[in-house]
């Protein structure tokens, strides 16, 4: 065995690396350990209880899943998919409808999600804002904050006082769940992508750091830099040209990897970036900006968001950043020493109600590993394999470059790292450049801990197409010595004094595994094909086999405890789950395995009739699957199999929806009683939007209406010259305005959606009807749909862009405006900032008449409503349907509401609908904009075993054909298994106010 000192190894590395520059200077690798209770770090990695850990994390937003019983489902799926950490954004606005008012109950119970994450064995990275971005309206700022004049995200006193209100509360919750206090929070983020660096922002950052510490947050603190810009790097960094800030760790985010085309097709994408050891980014480049803290990607794109008017990009995003992307990109990050890596998103979920920023529509599926209806996409299988490797080889944490090996093909590169303490190796094999897609055969020659090898010894290895291999060498696993393997390690387990390893490779490729023994061991091929040879001089046992289905090899003697090797192709390997004290093959998901008193209890899901095979201790006397006994028998390969297949889900049948309807825009009528509405005057103007002189402050936020729809009614005295009304309005991406004069619809205007920044304000002119052109009193009624406030990505107060009307003027022909005073009244959501329905909360409602009178709620009595109309009126028409569901128990089904022809992203018909299920606004459908037509409803919002109500608020211009298309319930997925889900508690009715 060749042993080298660490210093010697580093010298070798510096001499032999062919990469132009080691971006993270290796001399800093001796940086001292900094300790924050149970969490500590040095330059190489985070440590928990003094043990180095690769932090392999995925992002989840509980606020995007308003059924808290399902949070655990997502957490378990992340855990089962190999993640050891979950990163969580908290949305300030979600908890605070009004300054000083906060809610952390029900769907807002953040204590619960943190507790459950710990129970599921996940570490947590908390990201508490105050600003989070996250494609949320106002980037997560509360509605009321837009009425503050001072610049947000600076040390403006009013802003900081507001932020402190939030932080005091959320920090108190987070503090309880820190690993230092018995929970599992290990890292905490204090701001997000604050990319300007004024002194006011520096003071603000100092304040945020002090606030977190003052609130009892004791784990390391960080900021998430938007890319590798060197913003808010810890003071300890001596690198020039970076912006220092009050952080313990430097973290950044990145979304490389190409995009989908407008047609929804993946592009080839760029090569994986070297953002750590192997990069050439210069002083500001990634991990190098802070050489004495571990490299930390607080977000790495695991998908991408989709926007109003696209052709439907989520499935494409899932492919673009899918299986092979993950292998190449996450592997390259790991090879670069990025030992803290968080995939954004692990589960995207739903931007329900008025959560979405103008840029996105309701679904925040993101193309992530867990889809919006909570299905594990195939890309999750590969995450499980990387997570399995990280769990099986703790030596991967804190590795450093070990010198470039000789690779026989110019098209292939190998990142070669070593653990300075154990000398274990990581060989990340990919194309050169890594987005290459040729079919290459090659060998690797390297000085490995157990000697110099050219591997494989038999046939060359193959890298076929865009792909990477995560190989390890010179590692001790259990009591075995893995000299190298050209197969990848997915799982390992030691049980009853024997070791088990699950290795896999691409179907049809050959694999070679070299193990070290004192003397010739006995090798038995129990299943499939494999050959072995022993080199007595070195003590090397070489196994050669094809990756085809499965081979099982048992090695005994040779001076080591017995070893079982499961050698699988990929399709076979992804069927295995390493959970608790067992390795389980078969089910679509294994959530947990526990051993108690001789009974092995396995909990999981099946998608179909499924065989079950288990490796576990001999002490296991009985096996239970989802609380039912399973009869098993031992196999010749040391496992046990179930005598009978596990059952799959029963078929689902869903009712046909029938509708009653009522017209819901009575505000349009001149005689409508608006006496209780606020007068739109006299409120201070805090918006950044310039408004023409002499106009009253019409912006909806000034009157306490921050989300959804708002109505205006204006009274004016006509003049014979008055021909038009000109409006300037703010409404977010794909927002709109509808206008009536004296009860006559005069038209509507819609804003386009689209990236990168949607058009969020608009101007429109409407002709006044002849009857309104004369003298006399007239009434103009205007409905503005506010599709969200801008985010504050550039910390320029863009979230304070005005919403609702900005100005309105009566004009003569040619656009000459008169000083016709209009007495405006305004009405938005019922109660404004004082919510009548705090359970559903701030994001659920806007100011439609039907919302103010409770038509969206299940308890509303619609007996007097009519059958669905056959023609359409301008304005909003409500449809309600009541139906019973009796879905199979013990089954996890995601039911969705689907509009029209789900094969096309857009309809010819021009209309939009707010979708309320049992009172919950689960999204907005815009028929002619698209692309989302199918709206999943989480169980708990939908009652799978009882009565449900769907209410649709359908808004149209009234043109023939612009009306609701057929709406049906569809099943997006169903499995047998799942977790018990209770209905989310929320009122059945509210007191109407018009
Ligand atoms: C990041 C940001 C996230 C999210 C993401 C894109 O830059 O930190 O909040 O907006 O981009 O989905």
Q: What is the pLDDT of residue 774?
A: 81
- Please report which residue ranges of 34-156 form alpha helices under DSSP H: 71-80, 92-95, 110-119
Whole-number Å distance, alpha carbon 759 to ligand 1 midpoint, is 20
Quote the Cα angle for 15-19-20, to 5°: 90
% residues pLDDT > 70 (the chain): 96
Which residue is closest in CA terms to ligand 1's atom 5? 134
C-beta of residue 868 within 8 angstroms of C-beta of residue 660: yes
Query: Given the DSSP bridges, would you call strands 660-663 and 875-886 parallel, antiparallel or unpaired?
Result: antiparallel
Distance CA 324, CA 601 (A): 34
Index of the ligand 1 atom closest to the CA of residue 193: 8
Whole-number Å distance, alpha carbon 134 to ligand 1 midpoint, is 5
Residue 23 has pLDDT above 70, yes or no: no
Q: What is the pLDDT of residue 991?
A: 85
Residue 627 has pLDDT above 70, yes or no: yes
Average pLDDT over residues 407-419: 97
Under DSSP, is residue 221 helix (H, G, I), strand (E, B) or coil? strand
Residue 68 has pLDDT above 90, yes or no: yes
Residue 4 has pLDDT above 90, yes or no: no
Q: Report how far apart, in Å, the C-alpha atoms of 718 and of each of 679, 715, 774, 812 are.
A: 20, 9, 6, 11
Distance CA 870, CA 862 (A): 19
Probe ligand 1: pick from 131, 134, 231, max atoms within 8 Å of CB? 134
Q: Rg for the chain (alpha carbons), in Å?
A: 31
Whole-number Å distance, alpha carbon 793 to ligand 1 midpoint, is 9
Which residue is closest in CA terms to ligand 1's atom 4? 134
pLDDT in tens, 562-578: 999 999 999 999 999 99
Average pLDDT over residues 130-149: 98
140: left (phi over 0), alpha (psi -120 to 50) or beta: left
List residues near ligand 1 (CB under 6 A).
132-135, 192-193, 224, 226, 253, 299, 305
Whole-number Å distance, alpha carbon 696 to ligand 1 midpoint, is 36
Where do the domains of the chain lie, and which CATH numbers do they carry?
A: 15-376 (3.20.20.80), 396-642 (2.102.20.10), 683-827 (2.60.120.260), 837-976 (2.60.120.260)
Which residue is closest in CA terms to ligand 1's atom 6? 134
pLDDT in tens, 450-500: 999 999 999 999 999 999 999 999 999 999 999 999 999 999 999 999 999
Residue 772 has pLDDT above 90, yes or no: no
Q: What is the pLDDT of residue 239?
A: 83
Residue 381 has pLDDT above 80, yes or no: yes
| Residue 284 pLDDT class (50, 70, 90 cuts) | very low
| Residue 12 pLDDT class (50, 70, 90 cuts) | very low
Residue 288 has pLDDT above 80, yes or no: no
Distance CA 935, CA 924 (A): 9
Which residue is closest in CA terms to ligand 1's atom 9? 134
Q: What is the pLDDT of residue 721?
A: 86
Whole-number Å distance, alpha carbon 133 to ligand 1 midpoint, is 6
Residue 983 has pLDDT above 80, yes or no: yes
Probe ligand 1: pick from 135, 254, 302, max atoms within 8 Å of CB? 135
Distance CA 587, CA 111 (A): 31
Nearest alpha-carbon partner for 990 in 896, 939, 940, 916? 916
pLDDT in tens, 745-769: 999 999 987 776 789 999 999 999 9
| Residue 672 pLDDT class (50, 70, 90 cuts) | very high
Average pLDDT over the chain reads: 94
Whole-number Å distance, alpha carbon 784 to ligand 1 midpoint, is 28
Whole-number Å distance, alpha carbon 344 to ligand 1 midpoint, is 8
Q: What is the pLDDT of residue 28?
A: 61
Whole-number Å distance, alpha carbon 387 to ligand 1 midpoint, is 24
Probe ligand 1: pick from 58, 344, 793, max atoms within 8 Å of CB? 344
Residue 725 has pLDDT above 80, yes or no: yes
Structure tokens at 174: 């987070």
Q: What is the pLDDT of residue 286?
A: 52
| Residue 179 pLDDT class (50, 70, 90 cuts) | very high
Residues ≥6 apart with Cβ < 8 Å to 161: none
Whole-number Å distance, alpha carbon 408 to ligand 1 midpoint, is 40
Index of the ligand 1 atom closest to the CA of residue 89: 9
Which residue is closest in CA terms to ligand 1's atom 3? 134
Q: Taking the CB of residue 866, how many other CB atoms lie within 10 A of it?
A: 11
pLDDT in tens, 513-544: 999 999 999 999 999 999 999 999 999 999 99
Residue 149 has pLDDT above 60, yes or no: yes
Whole-number Å distance, alpha carbon 118 to ligand 1 midpoint, is 25
C-alpha count within 13 angstroms, C-beta hemisphere, residue 862 = 26
Q: What is the pLDDT of residue 281?
A: 52
Probe ligand 1: pick from 228, 299, 305, 795, max atoms within 8 Å of CB? 299
| Residue 26 pLDDT class (50, 70, 90 cuts) | low
Whole-number Å distance, alpha carbon 305 to ligand 1 midpoint, is 9
C-beta of residue 335 within 8 angstroms of C-beta of residue 48: no
Angle, to 10 degrees, between the axis of helix 378-392 and the axis of helix 323-335?
30
Nearest alpha-carbon partner for 742 in 779, 707, 715, 771? 779
Which residue is closest in CA terms to ligand 1's atom 7? 226
| Residue 9 pLDDT class (50, 70, 90 cuts) | very low
């Amino acid at each position: 065995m060749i042993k080298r000192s660490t210093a010697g190894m580093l010298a070798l590395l510096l001499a032999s690396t062919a990469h132009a520059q080691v971006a993270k200077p290796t001399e800093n690798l001796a940086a001292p350990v900094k300790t924050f209770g149970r969490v500590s770090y040095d330059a190489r990695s985070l440590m928990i209880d003094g043990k180095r850990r690769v932090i392999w994390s995925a992002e989840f937003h509980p606020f995007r899943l308003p059924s808290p019983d399902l949070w655990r489902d997502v957490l378990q799926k992340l855990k089962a998919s190999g993640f050891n950490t979950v990163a969580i954004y908290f949305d300030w606005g979600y908890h605070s409808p009004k300054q000083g008012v906060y809610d952390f109950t029900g769907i807002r119970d953040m204590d619960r999600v943190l507790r459950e994450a710990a129970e599921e064995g996940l570490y947590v990275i908390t990201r508490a804002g105050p600003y989070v971005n996250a494609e949320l309206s106002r980037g997560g700022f509360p509605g009321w904050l837009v009425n503050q004049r001072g610049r947000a995200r600076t040390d403006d006193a009013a802003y900081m006082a507001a932020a402190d209100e939030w932080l005091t509360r959320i920090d108190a919750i987070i503090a309880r769940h820190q690993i230092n206090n018995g929970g599992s929070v290990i890292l905490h983020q204090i701001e997000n992508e604050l990319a300007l660096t004024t002194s006011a922002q520096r003071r603000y950052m100092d304040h945020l750091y002090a606030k977190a510490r003052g609130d009892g947050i004791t784990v390391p603190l960080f900021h998430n830099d938007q890319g590798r810009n060197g913003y808010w790097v810890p003071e300890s960094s001596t690198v020039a040209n970076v912006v220092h800030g009050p952080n313990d760790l430097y973290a950044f985010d990145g979304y490389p990897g190409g995009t989908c085309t407008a047609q929804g097709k993946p592009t080839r994408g760029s090569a994986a970036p070297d953002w750590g050891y192997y990069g050439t980014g210069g002083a500001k480049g990634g991990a190098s900006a802070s050489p004495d803290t571990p490299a930390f990607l607080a977000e790495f794109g695991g998908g991408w968001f989709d926007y109003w008017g696209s052709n439907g990009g989520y499935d494409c995003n899932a492919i673009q950043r899918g299986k092979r992307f993950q292998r190449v990109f996450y592997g390259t990050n790991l090879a670069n020493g990025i030992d803290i890596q968080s995939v954004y998103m692990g589960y995207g979920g739903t931007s329900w109600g008025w959560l979405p920023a103008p840029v996105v529509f309701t679904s925040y599926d993101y193309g992530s590993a867990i889809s919006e209806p909570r299905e594990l996409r195939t890309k999750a299988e590969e995450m499980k394999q990387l997570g399995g490797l990280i769990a099986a080889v703790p030596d991967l944490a804190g590795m450093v470059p070990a010198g470039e090996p000789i690779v026989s093909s110019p098209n292939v590169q190998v990142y070669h790292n070593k653990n300075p303490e154990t000398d274990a190796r990581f060989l990340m094999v990919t194309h050169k450049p890594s987005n290459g897609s040729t079919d290459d055969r090659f060998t690797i020659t390297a000085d490995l801990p157990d000697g110099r090898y050219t591997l494989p010894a038999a046939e060359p290895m193959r890298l076929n197409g865009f792909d990477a291999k995560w190989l390890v060498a010179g590692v001790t696993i259990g009591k075995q010595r893995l000299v190298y393997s050209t197969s990848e390690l997915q799982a390992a387990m030691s049980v009853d004094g024997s070791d088990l390893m699950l290795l896999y490779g691409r179907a049809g490729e050959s694999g070679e595994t070299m193990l070290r023994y004192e003397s010739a061991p006995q090798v038995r091929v129990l299943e499939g094909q494999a050959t072995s040879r022993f080199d007595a001089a070195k003590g090397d046992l070489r196994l050669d086999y094809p990756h085809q289905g499965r081979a099982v090899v048992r090695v005994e003697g040779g001076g080591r405890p017995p070893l079982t090797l499961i050698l699988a192709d990929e399709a076979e390997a992804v069927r295995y789950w390493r959970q608790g004290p067992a390795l389980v093959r078969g089910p679509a998901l294994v959530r947990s395995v526990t051993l108690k008193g001789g009974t092995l209890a396995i909990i999981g899901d099946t998608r179909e009739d499924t065989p079950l095979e288990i490796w576990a201790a001999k002490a296991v006397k009985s096996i239970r699957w989802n609380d039912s006994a399973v009869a098993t028998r031992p196999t010749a390969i040391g496992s046990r199999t179930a005598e009978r297949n596990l059952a799959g889900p029963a078929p689902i049948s869903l009712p046909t929806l029938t509708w009653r309807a009522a017209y819901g825009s009575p505000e349009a009528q001149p005689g409508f009683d608006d006496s209780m509405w606020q007068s739109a005057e006299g409120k201070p103007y805090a918006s950044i939007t310039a408004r023409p002189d002499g106009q009253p402050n019409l912006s909806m936020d000034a009157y306490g209406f921050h989300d959804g729809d708002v109505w205006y009614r204006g009274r004016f005295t006509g003049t014979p010259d008055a021909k038009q009304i000109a409006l300037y309005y703010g409404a977010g991406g794909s927002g709109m305005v509808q206008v009536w004069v004296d009860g006559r619809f005069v038209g509507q205007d819609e804003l386009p959606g689209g990236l990168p920044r949607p058009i969020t304000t608009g101007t429109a002119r409407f002709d006044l009807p002849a009857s309104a052109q004369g003298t006399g009193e007239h009434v103009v009624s205007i409905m503005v749909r506010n599709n969200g406030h801008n985010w504050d990505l550039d910390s320029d107060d863009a979230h304070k862009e005005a919403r609702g009307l900005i100005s309105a003027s009566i004009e003569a022909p040619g656009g000459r405006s008169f000083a016709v005073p209009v007495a405006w009244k305004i009405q938005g959501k019922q109660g404004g900032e004082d919510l009548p329905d705090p359970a559903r909360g701030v994001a659920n409602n806007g100011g439609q008449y039907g919302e103010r009178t409770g038509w969206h709620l299940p308890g509303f009595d619609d007996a007097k409503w009519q059958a669905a109309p056959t023609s359409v009126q301008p304005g909003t028409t409500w449809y309600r349907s009541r139906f019973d569901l009796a879905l199979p128990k013990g089954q996890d089904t995601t039911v969705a509401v689907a509009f029209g022809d789900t094969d096309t992203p857009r309809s010819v018909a021009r209309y939009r609908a707010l979708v309320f299920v049992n009172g919950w606004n689960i999204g907005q459908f815009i028929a002619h904009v698209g692309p989302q037509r199918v709206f999943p409803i989480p169980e708990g919002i939908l009652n799978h075993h009882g009565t449900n109500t769907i209410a649709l608020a359908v808004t149209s211009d009234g043109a023939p054909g612009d009306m609701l298309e057929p709406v049906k319930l569809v099943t997006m997925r169903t499995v047998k298994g799942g977790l018990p889900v209770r209905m989310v508690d929320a009122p059945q009715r509210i007191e109407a106010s018009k």
